[in-house]
Structures are given as C-alpha cells and as structure tokens.
Structure 1
Amino acid sequence: MSTDDTARGALDADPRQEWQHWHEQRTAAVASSYGPLSLTGTYWLSDFPEGRIPAVPGLWRADGDEVVLTAGAEDAITVDGAPLIGTVRLAADHAPIHESRAESAGRRLVVLRREGEWAVRDFDPESEARRAFRGIEATPYDEKWVRPGVFRPYAESRSVRVENADGKERGLGLAGEVVFDLDGTDHSLQVAIEDDGSLWAVFADTSSGKDSYRFRFLRPAAPAADGSVTVDFNRALLPPCAFAAHFICPFPPPGNTLDAEIAAGERRVAEA
C-alpha cells in the first residue's frame, strides 16, 4: 500500500471527516431539485370534493384504493413520461420524488395516503424555500455524543396517537426502545423499525425550541444480534417540516423528550 493510500485510509476512518462528509451530503440532498425544500403544498382530497385543487393542475378524486386523475391538454400533465389526456388511476407513490409518476412543467405531483386519507403533494424545484436556502446549522462532531446503547424490542408492536405538524393526531408505530447512558444517567427513546432494519426515533430535549428546532429525528443503524446499537447524536436530523411547513411530521411520543441538552447534530435551518 502506498503512502497516499495509507493517508487516504486514515482520512476515511477519521470520524470527524466522515461526519463532515455526511453533513455535506445531507445539505446537498436537502437542497436538491426535489428535496424537502421543494414541497409547496400537501392537499387532502377530502378538502376538495369537486376534485379541483386550485394550485394543482388536473382533476383529482379518491376512489377506494386508488386516486383517479383526469387531465386535458391545458393541464400539461405527464404520467410515466407520456402526456395525459384523459383519465388514469394512480396508487400511492413510494419511489423517490423524482421517480413519481405524475409531473407538470417540472413539478412532481406525488400521491400520498395516510390512515386511509388521500392527498396530492406538489414538489416544485422553483420553490421560494429552495431559492432562499442558506444551509443547515449543525454542531461540529464531538465523540462524547456517540453512545453505546441496547435495543429492547416490545413483545408486540405498539401504536400511539401523537400530534403531527399540521395539527392533526395520527398513529405512530413503535417497535421497542433504545437505552443508553448520558453523563452517568440512563435514558431511553422509543423507536420504530424501518424496512431495512435500522431504527427511527422522534425526540426532543431541553434545547428544543430554543437552541435547536422543536424536535428532531435520530436514525441508528440496525442493532446487532445481541441488541447492541450505536446512538450517535452527531447525526441528529432536522425533520422535513423544518424545511417546509407542508410536511406532516409526527411530534415525539410520550417519553421521548429527554431531560438533557443534546448539543449535537443538526440544530436549525440557517437564516439568510
């Protein structure tokens, strides 16, 4: 191995450099054409019984397990890359935003379903929030915020009702809790399990709403076979609703507000 390769390997293994790379990638993803800054509206179809959403082209109606979209040439909507003149049935989109089926003049019209309710989301790369974005304020890496933890699964998955950013209550699925130590005191966070086995927590702390956004997300990697897991608050994330008010992020469930200050990770959207 050459000297350059050795130096490069040491750089790759440096957690500060790894964190900086993560932060830069995260900022780029947020600022991308169809990142969270581009969301200009979430429109629940139940609020538009006639099917016409003033800000969105086309006629949108819920019909059981699908949404029926009707469009004319004047709507300039494409579905799967082809102009839509007539009617098409759409299921909920699950692919990345830029791969969603419906598009109009560069805007992605994403079909969403939550607890049986249908909505259309409008992602516009020309959004005001995206143009005004100046970055994410984040605390530099500090190894003290990397804590060993243990995942303790529940015997059965649970669902709790929590308020969402749009003011409505919705169910939040929880699969267990992660227990970890901060300054000699045990803490725990209730978590969900993602499809890839990684964990997801919505949490607040004593800095929330003051020195950081009102709540944040944490996404630890999948636990090991013995339940051990790394809790790295350096990678605490701002929720999507910190970037655009049209997201319906869940608030922390009961018990997920830590009585400690987590002076780490993403803190707030940078001001212009």
Structure 2
Amino acid sequence: MTAADTAADAWQRWTEARTAYASAVHGPLALTGTHWLGPEPEEIPGLPGEWWAEGGLVRLGAKSADGLRLEGEVEVLEGEAALRPDTDPAPDRATHGDRRLVPIEREGELALRVFDPAAPARAVFAGIDVFPYAPEWAVPAVFTPFADGGRAVTVPNADGRDRPLEVAGQIAFTLAGETHTLTVSGSDGSRLSGVIADLTSGHETYRFRFITLPAPDAEGRTVLDLNRAYLPPCAFADHFVCPFPPPGNRLPLSVEAGERHVVTG
C-alpha cells in the first residue's frame, strides 16, 4: 500500500465520521434554536418552564408536570436549577423528552440551545458533498506565532454580529508554485485551526470553511491538508454562531478540495 493510498483511506474514514457526526441524534442538524436569555424569567417558545441568566449561569424554574430533567437524572425537576454553560470545565445540560437543552456562553452572554432529533433538517439530510481526495492539496506549512503571543481580531459572525476571534499566528505554505499565508488560532503545543475562504466560496462550496492542522513541531512545521477543509456548524443549522474568515484568509485560488455543501433529498 502506498503512502497516498494510506492517506486516502484515512481521509475516507474522516468523511464517514463527519457524516455520522452531522446526522447524530443531537448533532448539528438537530439544532432548532439558540435562545438568548436576559435577567428576568421568560418562556422559550415550544419549551416548558421559565429560563433566565444569572451570575454566569442559566437558571430554570419548572414544575414536575413540565417533564424537564437535568441530563443524567431520572427524576423530573421540581423547582429551580442552575446550569453551567459550555465554557465551564464541567458544563450542565437538561432534557425534555428526546430534546437536549444546552446552555452556552458567548462574550459574557448566555443562551439555551435546543437540539431536537425530530428536526426537519435531520429528516432530509442526504450526506455531505465532497471533492474527491487529491494528494496535491496536502502541503507542508510553517507556523510563526505572533510576537505578542496572540491577539483578538474582530470578525463578522453568521448571526450578523461582530465578535473577537482569538488568533495565535500565521502559517506559510506553497500551492501551485505560489506562497500563501493564513492566520490561525491555537498554540502551546496544540493543534492549529483556521477559518478560510477561496474562489469557490459561496457557489461551488459553502461561503467559508474551517480547517484543522496538526500541532507544529519545535521548528513550527506542520501540514495543511485542504482535503479536510470542512463545513462550519452554521452550514447545518442557521442557529449556530460561526466566525467568518479574518482579514487575509481568502485564498486567491479555487480550492477544489474538502467538503462542499450539505446534501438534502
């Protein structure tokens, strides 16, 4: 078996895992709403109980007849409970029937996400359209951290708001004889990640894509494999908050590699 065959086989397993992730019972296609919460108890459409934000926690008040449970608990909730958001090292979740209720925190604001296995998007999902694997789209790259150790750049998000995106440095690489750079996040021995666009974005592919690179070695060396450019969560459901590419991360060429679109049928 050649190295190219091995890489292609690994890529095929990756594409299958991505499809399984997207179509999972509580995967991204199941997201039916992200509800931002204020300090006063309020009702969320289609959900029982009352919900509000207080002290960095999502709080809820419920009666036993509401059928709300803290995830992992057998007994239904009677009274009030506080849920830690996804940014906490030990986050909490709740359930209502088959639905999973996930508290999130973004820039100090709290919201509740509702994942419903009966979401229409799950019912019509027919897969993820991908370009065929091509080894020439996997190239060496060198990571150079920013001298200040990282910074935040403000970028638009899929929900129409601008938010800071933490970035750590740039990768440099060569495609088709031309040198390019991309701004990426991640450092301290961790994997790198980036938000990118190219000349296919918005027509042949989704309007932007994500990419993950192996942790760079001591000399900053890593690999950029654009065969694994993947769709952001907001390609599966409109209720996700996804950052757009930072300045300079639109490649001036057509990257005919990686995931293209969600397929419905």
Counterpart residue number, 1:44: 36
Amino acid at match of 1:193: G
Q: Alignment RMSD, CA only?
A: 2.1
Looking at structure 2, the residues matched to 45 and 145 of structure 1 have their Cα atoms a distance apart, in angstroms, of 43
- Distance verdict in 2 for CA 1:196–1:62, change over 3 Å: farther
Which residue of structure 2 lines up, in the alignment, with residue 252 of structure 1? 245
Matches of 1:79 and 1:117, distance apart in 2: 21
Alignment of 1:22-171 (within 5 A): 22-46=14-38, 49-80=40-71, 81=73, 82-93=75-86, 100-156=92-148, 157-171=150-164
Does structure 2 conserve the Cα–Cα contact (< 8 Å) formed by 1:11 and 1:17? no
User: CA separation in 2, counterparts of 1:32 and 1:148?
Assistant: 33
| Shift, 1:67, TM fit | 1.9
Are the structure 2 counterparts of residues 194 and 132 from structure 1 closer, same or farther at C-alpha, using a change threshold of 3 Å? farther
Q: Alpha-carbon deviation of 1:56?
A: 2.4
Cα displacement (A) at 1:74: 2.5
Shift of 1:50: 4.2
Q: Post-superposition shift, 1:196?
A: 7.2
Larger mean Cα displacement after TM superposition, 250-259 or 62-71: 62-71
Q: What residue ranges of structure 1 are gaps of 5+ in the alignment?
A: 1-6
CA positional deviation for 1:25:
1.1
Please state whether the residue corresponding to 1:205 is helix, strand or coil: coil
| Superimposed CA distance per residue, residues 35-84 of structure 1 (whole angstroms, 9 cap, x where no aligned partner) | 100000000013x9442112322211111221221111222110141321
The one-letter amino acid paired with 1:137 is D
* In the alignment, structure 1 residue 243 sits paired with structure 2 residue 236: yes
The structure-2 alpha-carbon separation of the partners of 1:11 and 1:58, relative to structure 1 and needing over 3 Å to count, comes to: farther
- The answer to whether the 8 Å contact 2:83/2:92 transfers is no
Are 2:174 and 1:208 aligned?
no
Task: Confirm or deny that 1:232 pairs with 2:234.
Answer: no
Higher helix share: 1
CA separation in 1, counterparts of 2:257 and 2:23?
A: 21
Secondary structure of the structure 2 residue equivalent to 1:26: helix
Deviation at 1:101, TM superposition (A): 2.4
- Partner in structure 2 of residue 3 of structure 1: none
Report the CA distance shift for 1:196/1:90 in structure 2 as closer, same or farther (over 3 A): farther
Amino acid paired to 2:244: F
Conserved 8 A contact 2:151-2:168 = yes
* More displaced 10-residue stretch of structure 1: 85-94 or 252-261: 85-94
User: How far off is 1:12 after superposition?
Assistant: 10
Partner residue of 1:186 out of 166, 179, 182: 179
Post-superposition CA distance 1:72-127 (Å, at most 9, x none): 122211014132110111111359xxx95211101111000000101000011111
| TM-score in terms of structure 1 length | 0.90
Q: Aligned partners of 1:248, 1:178: CA distance in 2, in Å?
A: 25
- Scaled by the length of structure 2, the TM-score of the pair is 0.93
| Structure 1 consecutive aligned stretches of length 4 or more whose deviation exceeds 3 Å | 10-13
Q: Indicate if the aligned counterparts of 1:100 and 1:108 stay in contact, CA closer than 8 A.
A: no
The CA distance in 1 between the partners of 2:174 and 2:129, in whole Å, is 26
- The CA distance in 2 between the partners of 1:92 and 1:211, in whole Å, is 36
Secondary structure at 2:146 match in 1: strand
Letter in 1 for 2:225: D
Q: How far did residue 159 of structure 1 move?
A: 0.5
- Identical pairs, percent: 46
- Aligned residue-pair number: 261
Take 1:43 and 1:259, find their aligned partners in 2: how far apart are those partners?
Answer: 37
